[in-house]
Amino acid sequence: MATPAPDLLARVGELNGPDSPFVFRAENGRIVGSWDIAHVRYIALLGAGQIDEEYSIEVALDPETSTYEVHEQQTSSELKGGFTAGGGFHLSGGTSTFRGSQTRRSRGFVVGTHVSTPQGSGISAEWSFDTDRIKQPLYAFLDQNGWTKKKGFFGRLFGG
């Protein structure tokens, strides 16, 4: 028998560890996990920039069937500017957002004369991201409490 949704939501904090780069919370009857992957500002010899990456996973619970649906979103943005070899100035940037199920691993780093992150300042910063790292404890928590993932169209069609 599945843990009732209100009790499950009250226990979401159990997913948060002191060394975890992400945090889970109960919000409007859902479980929301968020990971601020990178929040970096840097100054290099001939320019400067900013890198932001964020990921969120949201679990919508269906208490009648003890099933859940998952919605994921990742947003990345970068802004950089500086001087060109010819003495000019350039400024470029962009933002991308991906919504949908994903499996992703990535690593990044930046080096400059001054680099700042929410954790502090220095001359370099590095970060890594792995969707399994945030999903595995969440799915294990839901499974241990008797909740199952709602089948998609093909799962219902073919009984998978």
Element (H or E) spanning 3, and its range? none
Determine the Cα–Cα distance for residues 108 and 86; give it in Å rounded to an integer.
29
Residues of the chain with pLDDT under 70: 152-160
| Structural tokens at position 119 | 């954790």
pTM: predicted TM-score of the whole model, two decimal places: 0.85
pLDDT of residue 86: 81
pLDDT of residue 151: 78
Domain ranges of the chain: 5-150
User: Integer distance in angstroms from the first to the last C-alpha of the chain?
Assistant: 22
pLDDT of residue 154: 54
Whether the Cβ atoms of residue 77 and residue 69 lie closer than 8 Å to each other: no
Q: Which residues pair with 73 in a beta bridge?
A: 56, 99
pLDDT of residue 157: 54
